[in-house]
Amino acid sequence: MFTQLLIALAQAVTSAPASPSDIIVIGRRAEQALALCLSRNCSPAEEVEASLQASVEQFADGRYRDARTTLQSAIRRNRDHAGELPGPVSSLYATLATVAEHEGDTGLWLSSARNNVLVLRRYLGEAHSATLKQEFAFADSMVGLGRPNDADAIYRKVQQVAAQHGLNKLESGAVFRRAWVALISGRDKEALRLADESVVIAGENDRLMVELRDIVRMQIAVRRGNEDAVDALATRLRQSATQAPRLLFAPAVEDINPVRSSLQRQPKHDSGVRFADVGYWVRPDGRTAEAEVLRTSGLGQWEPGILRQVQARRYIPLEVEPGHPGVYRIDRFTVRGNMGVPTGSRIRQRMGNLSVHVVDLTETDEMSAARHQRAEEAKAKDGA
Looking at residue 261, its pLDDT comes to 43
Looking at residue 273, its pLDDT comes to 85
Question: Between β-strands 247-249 and 314-315, what pairing exists: parallel, antiparallel or unpaired?
Answer: antiparallel
3-class DSSP state for residue 239? strand
Looking at residue 289, its pLDDT comes to 95
Separation of alpha carbons 304 and 302, rounded Å: 6
Looking at residue 281, its pLDDT comes to 94
Residue 115, amino acid: N
Model's pTM, two decimal places?
A: 0.84
Separation of alpha carbons 336 and 272, rounded Å: 6
Return averaged pLDDT per consecutive 10 residues of the chain, 384 residues in all. Answer: 49 33 55 96 96 93 94 97 96 95 93 96 96 94 92 97 96 96 95 97 92 94 92 91 88 74 42 86 95 86 90 93 90 86 70 84 67 64 60
Instruction: Identify which of 312, 240, 298 has the alpha carbon closest to the alpha carbon of residue 266.
Output: 298
| Count of Cβ atoms closer than 10 Å to residue 228 Cβ | 9
